[in-house]
Each structure stands twice: as structure tokens, then as C-alpha cells.
Chains A and B, each alone.
Chain A
């Protein structure tokens, strides 16, 4: 999937990845890679601006922890984030279903 397409849905993807449990940036990238079977063409560093944006919007909260002698920022969903995730997931489902109905009717030439 092209980076521009991914970027448009990055917030939803990040929220869904964090929904699996509080974790740090690298693990979020890892979860996304595993769940999409490596089909997302996205620079891993782009996750961080998205994480900051979501935190600023009150959808995520974060805290420093210590791991391997390094400080590590761990992100978790807030209640507002969980609600937003449910609503965004529902929106995405209805959007993808609608697009799919149109696109599947296109016959290959």
C-alpha cells in the first residue's frame, strides 16, 4: 500500500495497534508490520508525529519507562481514544464496504 494511502489512515492504524496493549514506538511499528504482513509502505519514523498528534488530542497517554538501560516512552489508549477507535473503525468499515461494492464490479480488461 502506497505511503499516501497509509498516511490518511495512520491515526486509526496506530490506535488499533495500541489497543492490543500499552507499548512503545518500535513495538507499535512491529505490530503494524505483523498484522499487515509487511504490506504497509511507511517510514517507521512517521509513527512518532502521529503518536504526538494523538496524544495531543487526548486519544493516547504516554509515560517514560526504563528498558535495556534506555528511557522508553510507552503509549496507552485513553478512554477518549477507545471511543474514537470504535467510531473510526466503524466509519472505516462502512467506507471500505462501500468502495469494495463499487470496485468489485470492475471487470478486468
Chain B
């Protein structure tokens, strides 16, 4: 950790304000730049530590560089806002159509609205997820798409329980991914935790709709509670850990600096 480049990169990461979408990319590019610069200085005859220190100084203050990084705009951002809007409309449709994990799965009077809302949620979640992670987007499309197909065609026939579970899990996943995507869009820390909490709440609500508050012992309710608990734990860890780690780094760096000063050989007169 005493390597100046590693310390600088840690500082860059720690200062990476929420919402600066390219902090990860900047960190990677900064590391390549700094290592390359340090190598050049070593080739010029500097000691490795001095070379790394010089490279860091040339690179400039992390805070002022981060303050100049533009917020992501353009097509990608428009797509995210569009997906966020679609998610809101879909959620309204879903609430109005009232997909529940009740035996009928979809309230028959508003079935088309509910199904359209659910499809919209899946699509919006996938679009939001795609902006951050293609793998997450694929997972949602597979889970959500499969659920939508099961719900709309009642493909499982007499196996009502499986349809209920599919509807429940699909709605949970869709809500989790939409919340995760919106959290990423807004640059919130702990987006995964926020997604899990949203999924957990959806799970509890669906369970509640099925058996109002009385069914908290159900597996689905337990799943919801577990998701909410894990989500909150993740949110806390993501928000507190970097500060704690940073304090620890600062403490170690100060200690090593003090030690190196004490051990510095006194020049002979």
C-alpha cells in the first residue's frame, strides 16, 4: 500500500463522487498512465519509489481531475431516462392490473394491462441493466421473459403453484432490476442493495396480497425478508466500507511516513 501509485488510485476511487459514471474507467486509464510514466522515469535512472511519486505529481490532484470528468450524456443517458420513464408507467400499469401471486395470477378484468405492465417492467429493467451490465440485462430478460411467457400463455397448465411462483419470482426480479437500474442512473452507492430491498418489498407485498400479513411465515415472505436484510447489509457495507478502508489507509500511510522520517539517516556534518 506504500506504493504512491496504489495510494493515489485508492484516493481517486475514494474521491470518485457518486454520479461520475466514468470513475472506474478513469481509474483504469490512470493506472496505465501512471505505471507507464513511472517506467519511463525508472529508465531515466530514478529509483522505483521516486519514479512512482514523480508520475503521481505529474498526473495532478485527483479531486480536480474528477471535478472535470463530464457527466454521462448523449444516447446512453437518454436511453436510461427513457427506460426509467417506461419503468414508472409500467409500475402503474402493473399496480392497476394487479398481478398477484393469488391463484388466478392475473386479475382477469385487467389482465392485458397487468401483462403489458409486467412486460414493460422487464423491458425497462433490461434497458437500465444493459447500460451497466450486459450480463445483468441478459439474466433479467431470461427470467422476466420466461415468466411473461408462462403468465401470458398459462403454459404450465394445471401446475398452478409453479405459475404462481414464476409470477412471484419474475415480479420480484423485475422490481429489483428496475430499482437497481434507477439507483445506478442516479449514481447512488449500493445500487445492488437497493435492488434487493425493492425485490424483497415486492415479495412481501405479493405475499401480503395473497394472504394479507398473515402469511409472513411463507417461503415467499421469508425470501422477501432475506432479500431486504441482505439489501440493507449491502447498502451499509457499500457506503461505510470505503470510508473505513480509507481511514485505515490514511492511518497506515501516516504511520509509515512517520516511521520513515524517524529512520531517515541523520546527515553527518
Contact = CB atoms under 8 A, between A and B. Distances in A.
Interface in A59-100: 67-68, 70-73
A25 B29 contact: yes
Interface residues of A, number: 20
Given A43-B59, A52-B70, A26 B36 contact: yes
Chain B, interface size category, equals: 20 to 34
Given A26-B36, A29-B33, A70-B31, A49 B25 contact: no
Given A49-B70, A52-B22, A25 B61 contact: no
Contacts of B154: none
DSSP majority for the A interface? helix
Interface string B21-46: 01001101111110111000000000
A52 B20 CA distance: 12
Contact of A43 (B22, B25, B65, B72): B65
Contacts of A44: 33, 37, 58-60
Contacts, number: 66
A67 B29 CA distance: 12
B269 interface: no
B161 to A, nearest CB: 47
Contacts of A52: 22, 26, 69-70
B74 interface: yes
DSSP majority for the B interface? helix
B70 A43 contact: no
Contacts of A70: 31-32, 35
B59 A25 contact: no
A68 B26 CA distance: 18
B260 interface: no
Given A43-B59, A53-B70, A71 B32 contact: yes
Contacts of A25: 29, 32-33
B32 A48 contact: no
A45 B62 CA distance: 8
Given A25-B29, A52-B22, A71-B28, A45 B36 contact: no
Given A25-B33, A48-B30, A73-B29, 17 more contacts: A25-B29, A26-B33, A26-B36, A43-B61, A43-B65, A44-B37, A45-B30, A46-B64, A46-B65, A48-B26, A49-B70, A52-B26, A52-B69, A70-B31, A70-B32, A73-B25, A73-B32
Interface of A: 24-26, 29, 43-46, 48-50, 52-53, 56, 67-68, 70-73
Interface of B: 22, 25-26, 28-33, 35-37, 58-62, 64-65, 68-70, 72-74
